[in-house]
Amino acid sequence: MNLLEVQHLKKYYATHKAVDDISFDIPRGSIFGLLGPNGAGKTTLLRMITGIFYPDEGNILFNGRPFNPQEDIHSIGYMPEERGLYKKMKVGEQALYLAQLKGLSEKEAREKVKHWFNKFDMNTWWNKKVEELSKGMQQKVQFISTILHNPSLLILDEPFSGLDPLNANLIKQEIFDLSQAGTTIIFSTHRMEQVEEICDRILLVNKGRKLLEGQVQEVKQTFKQHLFRIGVG
């Protein structure tokens, strides 16, 4: 069964069509790539799937019924491209706060945050302010904060941007582990080699339109001459 079904979504900014009649399904437990150049409409699409924006037209089904942002928000983990950490807050407090926002009790939040800080070797950061961390370090905090409540749908917008190869691999391994454990993942990027390495299926978008949806190799073969020209590396 599909965890997510997106049907004919449209979103306009004034008269500009940022997302123009996009449909796709995501089977439960799969890693689904959203591939497109800058300005393709990826973030706008993700903001509709997370309930930040209402679509102007179209439907989103989550678990087979109409997506309800108020009810379904705790089932979703969204790591936005622009990140969302409070710079003046201490790193540990920040992670605890975000976990509780997602419905975890204080005790559960503390246990989970401790587990992940140990696993990612981040304990020495606990009392540092977020603004004292490098961009890559902040990204690790953001990733952990996104998965603490065990979302059934994890949405990652450019999760590797700014990460060194070691930390990118760490996050990549977690993505595979979460997928193995049944989490459905949407991975948004403009890098072909990242979707090739990580995703089961991809949706290629450009200028708000769906160009093709399919297996990674199928999309690569069909569009190989055009990918660089439209801005997908």
Binding residues vs ligand ATP (CB under 6 A): 13, 16, 18, 36, 38-44, 81, 190
Q: Which is nearer to ligand ATP, 18 or 98 (CB)?
A: 18
In whole angstroms, the minimum distance from the beta carbon of 107 to ligand ATP comes to 37
For residue 43, the minimal CB distance to ligand ATP (Å) is: 3
Q: How far is the CB of 3 from ligand ATP (least distance, A)?
A: 22
Distances (CA, A) of 191 to 36, 79, 228: 8, 17, 10
Nearer to ligand ATP, 91 or 154 (CB): 154
Q: Is 13 exposed, middle or buried (0-12, 13-18, 19+ CB in 10 A)?
A: exposed
Residues 6+ apart with CB under 8 A from 82: none
| Closer of 56 and 81 to ligand ATP (Cβ) | 81
Task: Select 27 or 84, whichever has its Cβ closest to ligand ATP.
Answer: 84
3-state secondary structure of 86: coil
Pairing of strands 57-62, 2-13: antiparallel
User: Least distance in Å: CB of 190 to ligand ATP?
Assistant: 6
Q: In 3-state terms, what secondary structure has residue 126?
A: coil
